[in-house]
Amino acid sequence: MDQITFIFDIMVPAFANGLLITLALVAVTAPIVFLLGVGVACGRVYGGKGLSWLMQLYTIFFRGCPLLLLLFILYFGLPSLGIVLTPFVASVLGFIFCNSAYNSEYVRGSILSVKEGQLIAAKALGMTKNQAILNIVLPQALRRSIPGVSNEFIYLIKYSSLAYMITVIELTGASKLIATKYFAYNETFIAVAIVYLALVTITTFGANALEKKYAIPG
DSSP 110-130: HHHHS-HHHHHHHHHTT--HH
User: Average pLDDT of 34-46?
Assistant: 96
User: Average pLDDT of 171-193?
Assistant: 94
Does the pLDDT at position 55 exceed 70? Answer: yes
CA distances from 67 to 24, 62, 128 (A): 19, 8, 39
pLDDT (0 to 100) of residue 22: 97
Asked if the structure places residue 218 within a domain, the reply is: no
pLDDT-derived band at 215 (thresholds 50, 70, 90) equals: confident
pLDDT (0 to 100) of residue 158: 94
88-108 burial: b if 16+ Cβ within 10 Å, else e: bebbbbbbbbbbbbbbbbbbb
CA distance 53 to 40: 11
pLDDT (0 to 100) of residue 1: 66
The pTM score is 0.93
pLDDT (0 to 100) of residue 194: 96
pLDDT (0 to 100) of residue 4: 84
Give the range of the structural domain holding residue 174, as residue numbers without chain letter.
3-213
Does the pLDDT at position 53 exceed 90? Answer: yes
Asked if the structure places residue 115 within a domain, the reply is: yes
CA distance 125 to 133: 13
CA distance 15 to 172: 9
pLDDT tens-digit profile of 73-86?
999 999 999 999 99
Contact 44, 56 (CB under 8 A): yes
CA distance 105 to 41: 7
Residue 158 maps to which CATH number?
Answer: 1.10.3720.10
Asked if the structure places residue 158 within a domain, the reply is: yes
Cβ neighbourhood burial of 14 (10 Å; 0-12, 13-18, 19+):
buried
User: Average pLDDT of 160-181?
Assistant: 95
CA distance 89 to 95: 10
What total of structural domains would you count in the chain?
1
User: Average pLDDT of 94-102?
Assistant: 97
- Tell me the Cα Rg of the chain: 21
Contact 144, 110 (CB under 8 A): yes
Asked if the structure places residue 143 within a domain, the reply is: yes
pLDDT (0 to 100) of residue 218: 59
pLDDT (0 to 100) of residue 191: 94
Does the pLDDT at position 214 exceed 90? Answer: no
DSSP three-state, residue 184: coil
pLDDT tens-digit profile of 83-95?
999 999 999 999 9
pLDDT-derived band at 63 (thresholds 50, 70, 90) equals: very high
